[in-house]
């Protein structure tokens, strides 16, 4: 075979890719189930998606959703915390419980041969967690200590400060981990009440991806998880997000080896039609390695190991943020460059850039459905954002249809300089030497301000 | 379950000795290409530490027929993902792409294996020195406890030993690399005979074979790769180091020299680690976090590599608890294993979780082909999943106790990371 190294080889052939077929059914207790059968490995992944999290923490008790999720796997049914863990480990299964602002999850990965017993244990965790006083005291101490430790982490401080400013006076302003004095205030009854209110049949969707037939799965689920019977209902109202005003915050962290930057603003909801234009705009601007911001700050200037931007969506809207850690000496210059990139993308996008990003996102789509865990995670987007079942089938087509003008429009809508919040976590010695008055007012915060319930 | 771990493959060598393994799996329209170069930070010289890793960065800066920035861009445009990583023993490069783009990936990988030097410039080197210096700041210097591992290894080994320095390199060394260093490094280590290529996933083997032949066979070998012959390290005395860091809570690290990767005691040490700290009822975890509640976390690893391994335990005490209290409890639990042994239940639980983790790891094609390359390079047999699991199945309770006695009842390094005053 003769090759010509001077030319990039053409792609050969066609991709035939079938998206996983999604089945839906309900258990006798009314629990909604989304199922995908997948048989290349003897594995079953279960994921209980519970549609609420720390945004429903009561006032003065921030951190309750997190503490509840810490306690979920500390014993269930007739097994104490150690017995439960021992049995799961003996089966070679993996149980995880977690909570974020919008939702909580309980997941279990198991070999098919151990599916039935793993499902029984999973079911016990879901429907009859132990919530013993002794486990509660221990896990609460763990959370309180974790909050102390997070003061060391500049990325956590930057993310927390950014969200606190952006989502001021909404339930999204506080970190999932909560604040120390408020966690101190939580008692075991709070956990039990939160569990009764949030972890309900009506509020949950079970996602199963695995090596099992639908009829077998339905039978097993009905026999085991079908007896879970918390039918409580509740509704939460959420205030609308305000567009933030342009502000510049500096958090001093002594001995910082770099400056952590967050620059961004609020944006719209996930299931709006401009989702696809925003996705493409972000991809061109900072969403992947070959994006403008990364090529500028990393591959041209060498100021950073990496810089990227993203939209992260919640029930009420989203945030857009550029995140990077940069060499302290080039902090101000990096901020200037990021704002330049905002202005640049509002003015001009080359058709090749749009083609590149479309190609990147569309052609990699099959690889988003590779692992059992990935597929389950993708399916959880459906209940999370009330997306229709054909969402995955129409994704590529909708991306393809986006025009250059729509991408420019989404850049103009998102990247308004007057609404940009800038947070820097670094050593304050750099402020005087790098930021002059033209930068505007710099609001100085301490990491204590950021990580406490104090309003900033 | 056995059959998913018993993989079919085809292996051949090109005339320049490039080792090639083909593994077919048509479950998705994706193909993964994974290339190991048998060079890592262990092959560096003091004064130029971190060069293997910097070199990995340079490999993404283009080659004779691929302009700067285009290596990433071409693969991303085809819908692929890519990266590389450097460890103490090897450097790997990997791509996962839709099956239509296999030829392009082989073109890119062969171009940087055979035609790297003509595209090397001072400007690219200066840029990536800046990037790597920032990687060191971001991932080590600006992370709480981020310098712990390099402090530990620098105490565990003598300065000339190849695992003494960190993979990322010392900061002053990163700033010292010259074009000549990079050129020499390429000429010494980046040679077909020192590499192993695995292609896995959805492709036609006959076609892949022809493509590999066409793109790689003409790449010449350089001079012989220098062998790394060092005696197994010995720690002559127990050492204690104290390092101040920007942290709220202190942390203790204990490190011993241990058996090498795939060595006779390697699996027993993995299981020992699991029995000590791997689950809620594991010995040290239960004692520190459940019964006494004096620690926030505890972890241990059998960190095994080609020349030797190290066994490491670390723990963060709860506020107000002294490090020595944690240390005493850790040693008490190790002594408990040595004197009273471990139970069949503990052993069985641990072996089961190792076994299932192998099955779970097969879900991701990139992981799978990287593991195949690991087996090819270390064991000279790509189909070693069952052999590997068999190592764990063969471990007895006596083996675990013997491993604890042999490796943990000897000199060690204690590192205390303490809050700055």
- pLDDT for B142-152, tens place per residue? 999 999 999 99
Q: Which B residues in the span 314-373 are in contact with A, Cβ-Cβ below 8 Å?
A: 316, 318-319, 345, 348-350, 352-353, 355-357, 359-360, 362-365
CA–CA distance, B31 with B102 (Å, rounded to integer): 7
Binary contact (B64, A145; C-beta < 8 A): no
* Closest approach of B407 to chain A, Cα-based (Å): 26
Half-sphere exposure at residue B161, Cβ-oriented, CA atoms within 13 angstroms = 16
Please answer yes or no on whether B78 and A289 come within 8 Å at the CB atom. Answer: no
Count of domains forming chain B: 2
C-alpha–C-alpha distance, residues B128 and A305, integer Å: 9
Query: Burial of B344 by CB count in 10 Å (0-12 exposed, 13-18 middle, 19+ buried)?
Result: exposed
Q: How many other β-carbons are positioned within 10 Å of the β-carbon of residue B179? A: 14
B290 and B255 share one domain: yes
By residue range, what is the domain housing residue B249?
239-419
Number of Cβ within 10 Å of residue B119's Cβ equals: 18
> Under a CB-based contact definition with an 8 Å cutoff, are residues A426 and A328 in contact?
yes
Helix, strand, coil content of chain B in percent (nearest 5): 45, 20, 35
What chain A holds in terms of domains, given with CATH numbers, is: 23-227 (3.30.830.10), 247-451 (3.30.830.10)
Which of these, A342, A232, A336, A205, lies nearest to A282 by C-alpha position? A342
At A433 the pLDDT is: 82
Domain-located, residue B230: no
The structure tokens 């006032």 sit at A59
Q: Is B167 exposed, middle or buried (0-12, 13-18, 19+ CB in 10 A)?
A: buried
* Residue B171 is assigned to a structural domain of this protein: yes
pLDDT digits (tens, 9 = 90+) for B354-408: 999 999 999 999 999 999 999 999 999 999 999 999 999 999 999 999 999 999 9
Q: Does B171 touch chain A (CB under 8 A)?
A: no
Mean pLDDT of B228-257: 97
Residue A98, strand partner residues: A105
- Tell me, yes or no, whether B72 and B142 share the same domain: yes
| Strand-pair partners of B418 | B244
Q: Using a pLDDT cut of 70, give the percent of chain B over it.
A: 100
Mutate which: A144, A153, A299, A325, vs B, most B CBs within 10 A? A299
Per-residue confidence in pLDDT tens, chain A, 456 aa: 889 999 999 999 888 888 999 999 999 999 999 999 999 999 999 999 999 999 999 999 999 999 999 999 999 999 999 999 999 999 999 999 999 999 999 999 999 999 999 999 999 999 999 999 999 999 999 999 999 999 999 999 999 999 999 999 999 999 999 999 999 999 999 999 999 999 999 999 999 999 999 999 999 999 999 999 999 988 777 888 889 999 999 999 988 999 999 999 999 999 999 999 999 999 999 999 999 999 999 999 999 999 999 999 998 899 999 999 999 999 999 999 999 999 999 999 999 999 999 999 999 999 999 999 999 999 999 999 999 999 999 999 999 999 999 999 999 999 999 999 999 999 988 877 888 766 678 999 999 999 998 888
In a domain, B2, yes or no: no
Tokens of B13: 């060598």
Residue B225 falls within a domain, yes or no?
no
Q: Is the same domain home to B320 and B191?
A: no
Q: Do B206 and B256 have their domain in common? A: no
Q: For residue B386, tell me if it sits in a domain.
A: yes
Examine the fold and report which residue of B201, B216, B231 is the final residue of a domain before the chain moves on: B216
Count CB atoms within 10 A of the CB of residue A340.
13
Same domain, B279 and B350: yes
B200 and B80 assigned to the same domain: yes
Return the C-alpha torsion angle A180, A184, A185, A188, nearest 10.
130
Contacts of A16 in chain B (CB under 8 A): 29
Dist. CA B323–CA B221, nearest whole Å = 53
Cα–Cα distance, A80 to A58 (Å, whole number): 28
**Beta carbons of A219 and A114 less than 8 angstroms apart:** no
pLDDT single digits (tens) B253-283:
999 999 999 999 999 999 999 999 999 999 9
> Of B27, B73, B144, which has the smallest distance from its Cβ to A152's Cβ?
B144
Shortest Cα distance, chain B CAs vs residue A222, angstroms? 26
**Residues B355, B260 within the same domain:** yes
Q: Return the structure tokens found at A339.
A: 């704002």
Do B337 and B394 lie in a common domain? yes
**Greatest CA separation found in chain A?**
75
Contact B280, A82 (CB under 8 A): yes
- Pick B360's closest partner by Cβ from A14, A109, A289: A109
CA angle B166, B172, B174 (to 5 degrees): 65
* Average pLDDT value for residue range B70-94: 97
Can you read off the two tokens belonging to residue A132? 């013993």
Same domain, B398 and B287: yes
Residue A305 touches partner B, C-beta closer than 8 Å: yes
| Euclidean distance between CA atoms A238 and A77, whole angstroms | 35
Quick check: is B221 in a domain? Answer: no
CB contact under 8 A, B81 and A364: yes
Answer positive or negative: Cα dihedral of B236, B242, B248, B250: positive
User: CA of B70: which chain A residue's CA is closest?
Assistant: A290
The answer, yes or no, to whether residue B2 has pLDDT greater than 70, is: no
**The 3-state secondary structure of chain A, one letter per residue:** CCCCCCCCCCCCCCCCCCCCCCEEEECCCCCEEEEEECCCCCEEEEEEEECCCHHHCCCCCCCHHHHHHHHHCCCECCECHHHHHHHHHHHCCEEEEEECCCCEEEEEEEEHHHHHHHHHHHHHHHHCECCCHHHHHHHHHHHHHHHHHHCCCHHHHHHHHHHHHHCCCCCCCCCCCCCHHHHHHCCHHHHHHHHHHHCCCCCEEEEEEECCCHHHHHHHHHHHHHHCCCCCCCCCCCCCCCCCCCEEEEEECCCCCEEEEEEEEEECCCCCCCHHHHHHHHHHHHHCCCCHHHHHHHHHCCCEEEEEEEEEECCCCEEEEEEEEEEHHHHHHHHHHHHHHHHHHHHCCCHHHHHHHHHHHHHCHHHHHCCHHHHHHHHCHHHHHCCCCCHHHHHHHHHHHCCHHHHHHHHHHHCCHHHCEEEEEECCHHHHHHCCHHHCCCEEEEHHHHHCCCCC
From B143, B225, B135, select the one nearest B184 (Cα to Cα). B225
Contact A136, A143 (CB under 8 A): no
Q: Would you state the pLDDT for residue A239? A: 82
Q: What is the CATH number of the domain that holds B93?
A: 3.30.830.10
Residue-level pLDDT at A437? 65
Q: HEC string of B285-347?
A: HHHHHHHCCCEEEEEEEEEECCCCEEEEEEEEECCCCCHHHHHHHHHHHHHHHHHHCCCHHHH
A142 vs B contacts (CB less than 8 Å): 296
Say which residues have a Cβ less than 8 Å from residue A225's Cβ, sequence separation at least 6.
Answer: A27, A29, A31, A119, A122, A123, A126, A127, A206
pLDDT, one tens digit per residue, over B112-126 is 999 999 999 999 999
Q: Which residues of A touch B349 (CB under 8 A)?
A: 86, 89-90
User: Which among A152, A325, A396 is the top mutation candidate for probing chain B, defined by the most B β-carbons within 10 Å of its own β-carbon?
Assistant: A152
Query: What ipTM is given for this predicted complex?
Result: 0.95
- Tally of CB atoms within 10 A around A38: 22
Torsion sign (Cα): B62, B67, B69, B70 = negative
Q: Is B355 helix (H, G, I), strand (E, B) or coil?
A: helix
Mean pLDDT, rounded, of chain B: 97
Q: Report yes or no on B17 lying in a domain.
A: yes
B173 and B261 together in one domain: no
Smallest CA-to-CA distance from B287 within B261, B267, B313, B307 is with B313
> From CA A96, how far away is CA A77, in angstroms rounded?
17
In 3D space, the residue among A407, A169, A172, A158 whose CA is nearest the CA of residue A263 turns out to be A158
Q: Is A239 left (phi over 0), alpha (psi -120 to 50) or beta?
A: beta
Size of interface A-B (CB pairs under 8 A): 214
Q: Do B111 and A325 touch (CB under 8 A)?
A: no
Burial class (CB in 10 A: 0-12, 13-18, 19+), A455: exposed
Residue B161 three-state SS: coil
A329 touches chain B (CB under 8 A): no
Burial readout A122-146 (b: 16 or more C-beta within 10 A, e: otherwise)? bbbbbbebbbeeebbebbbbbbbbb
Which pair of tokens denotes residue A228?
A: 């879970």
Q: Which of B134, B318, B345 sits opposite A305 (nearest CB)?
A: B134
- Domain ends where: B182, B216, B250? B216
Judged by CB atoms within 8 Å, which residues 170-229 of A form the interface with B? none
Does B224 map to a domain? Answer: no
Please say whether the beta carbons of A36 and A27 come within 8 A.
no
Calculate how close chain B gets to A94, using CA atoms only, in Å: 9
Q: Is the per-residue pLDDT at B1 higher than 60? A: no
The residues in A 347-376 lying below 8 A from B, measured between CB atoms, are 356, 359-360, 362-367, 369-373
Whether residue B148 is found in the same domain as residue B260 = no
Residues B304, B413 within the same domain: yes
Is A40–B357 a contact, with Cβ atoms under 8 angstroms apart?
Answer: no
């Amino acid at each position: 075979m003769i090759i010509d190294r001077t030319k990039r080889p053409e792609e050969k052939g066609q991709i035939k890719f079938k998206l996983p077929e999604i089945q839906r059914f309900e258990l006798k207790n009314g629990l909604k189930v989304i199922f995908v059968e997948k048989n290349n490995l003897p594995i079953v992944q279960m994921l209980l998606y519970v549609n609420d999290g720390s945004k429903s923490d009561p006032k003065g008790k921030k951190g309750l959703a997190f503490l509840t999720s810490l306690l979920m796997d500390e014993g269930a049914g007739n097994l104490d915390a150690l017995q439960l863990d021992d049995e799961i480990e003996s089966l070679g299964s993996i149980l995880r419980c977690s909570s974020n602002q919008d939702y909580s999850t309980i997941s279990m990965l198991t070999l098919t041969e151990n599916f039935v017993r793993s499902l029984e244990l999973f079911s016990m965790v879901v429907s009859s967690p132990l919530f013993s006083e002794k486990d509660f005291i221990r896990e609460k101490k763990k959370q309180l200590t974790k909050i102390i430790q997070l003061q060391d982490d500049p990325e956590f401080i930057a993310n927390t400060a950014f969200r606190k400013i952006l989502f001021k006076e909404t339930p999204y302003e506080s970190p999932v981990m909560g604040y120390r004095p408020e966690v101190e205030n939580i008692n075991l009854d709070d956990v039990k009440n939160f569990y009764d209110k949030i972890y309900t049949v009506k509020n949950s969707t079970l996602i199963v991806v695995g090596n099992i037939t639908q009829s077998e799965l339905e039978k097993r689920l009905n026999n085991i998880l079908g007896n879970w019977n918390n039918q409580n209902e509740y509704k939460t109202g959420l205030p609308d997000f305000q567009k933030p005003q342009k502000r510049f915050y500096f958090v001093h962290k002594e001995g910082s080896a770099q400056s952590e930057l967050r620059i961004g603003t609020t944006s719209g909801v996930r299931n709006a039609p401009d989702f696809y234009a925003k996705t493409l705009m972000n991809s061109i601007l900072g969403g992947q390695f070959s994006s403008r911001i990364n090529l500028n700050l990393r591959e041209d200037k060498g100021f950073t190991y990496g810089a990227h931007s993203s939209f992260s969506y919640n029930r009420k809207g989203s945030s857009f943020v550029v995140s990077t850690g940069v060499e302290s000496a080039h902090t101000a210059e990096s901020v200037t460059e990021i704002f330049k990139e905002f202005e640049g993308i509002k003015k001009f996008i080359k058709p090749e850039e749009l083609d590149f990003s479309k190609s990147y996102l569309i052609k990699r789509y099959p690889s988003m459905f590779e692992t059992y865990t990935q597929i389950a995670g993708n399916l959880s987007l459906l209940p999370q954002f009330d997306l229709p079942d054909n969402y995955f089938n129409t994704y590529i087509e909708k991306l393809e249809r986006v025009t250059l003008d729509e991408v420019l429009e989404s850049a103009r809508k998102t990247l308004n300089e007057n609404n940009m919040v800038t947070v820097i976590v670094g050593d304050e010695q750099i402020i005087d030497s790098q930021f002059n008055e033209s930068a505007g007012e710099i609001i100085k915060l301490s990491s204590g301000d950021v990580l406490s319930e104090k309003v900033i | 379950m056995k059959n998913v771990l018993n993989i079919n493959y085809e292996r051949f060598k090109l005339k320049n000795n490039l080792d090639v393994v083909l593994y077919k799996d048509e479950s998705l329209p994706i193909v993964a290409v994974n290339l190991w170069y048998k060079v890592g930070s262990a092959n560096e010289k003091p004064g130029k530490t971190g060069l293997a890793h910097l070199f990995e960065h340079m490999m993404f800066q283009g080659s004779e027929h691929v302009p700067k920035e285009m290596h990433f861009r071409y693969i991303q445009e085809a819908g692929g993902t890519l990266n590389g990583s450097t460890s103490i023993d090897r450097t790997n490069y990997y791509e996962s792409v839709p099956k239509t783009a296999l030829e392009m990936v082989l073109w890119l990988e062969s171009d940087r294996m055979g035609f790297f030097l003509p595209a090397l410039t001072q400007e690219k080197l200066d840029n990536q020195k800046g990037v790597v210096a920032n990687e060191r700041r971001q991932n080590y210097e600006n992370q709480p406890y981020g310098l712990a591992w390099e402090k530990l290894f620098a105490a565990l080994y003598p300065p000339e030993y190849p695992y003494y320095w960190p993979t990322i390199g010392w900061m002053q060394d990163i700033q010292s690399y010259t074009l000549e260093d990079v050129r020499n490094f390429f000429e010494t280590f980046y040679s077909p005979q020192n590499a192993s290529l695995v292609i896995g996933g959805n492709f036609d083997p006959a076609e892949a074979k022809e493509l590999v032949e066409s793109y790689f066979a003409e790449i010449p070998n350089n001079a012989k790769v220098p062998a790394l012959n060092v005696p197994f390290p010995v720690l002559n005395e127990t050492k204690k180091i104290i390092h101040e860091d920007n942290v709220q809570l202190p942390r203790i690290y204990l490190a011993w020299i241990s058996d090498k990767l795939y060595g006779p005691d390697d699996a027993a040490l993995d299981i020992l680690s699991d029995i000590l700290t791997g689950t809620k009822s594991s010995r040290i975890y239960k004692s520190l976090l459940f019964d006494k509640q004096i620690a926030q976390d505890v972890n241990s690893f059998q960190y095994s590599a080609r020349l030797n391994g190290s066994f490491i335990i670390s723990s963060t005490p709860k506020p107000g608890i002294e490090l020595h209290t944690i240390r005493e409890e850790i040693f008490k639990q190790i002594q408990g294993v040595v004197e009273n042994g471990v139970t069949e239940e503990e052993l069985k639980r641990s072996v089961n979780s190792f076994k299932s983790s192998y099955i779970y790891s097969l879900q991701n094609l990139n992981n799978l082909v990287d593991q195949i390359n690991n087996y090819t390079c270390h064991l000279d047999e790509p189909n070693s999943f069952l052999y590997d699991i068999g190592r764990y199945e063969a471990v007895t309770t006596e083996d675990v106790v013997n491993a604890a006695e042999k490796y943990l009842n000897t000199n060690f390094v204690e590192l205390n990371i303490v809050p700055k005053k």
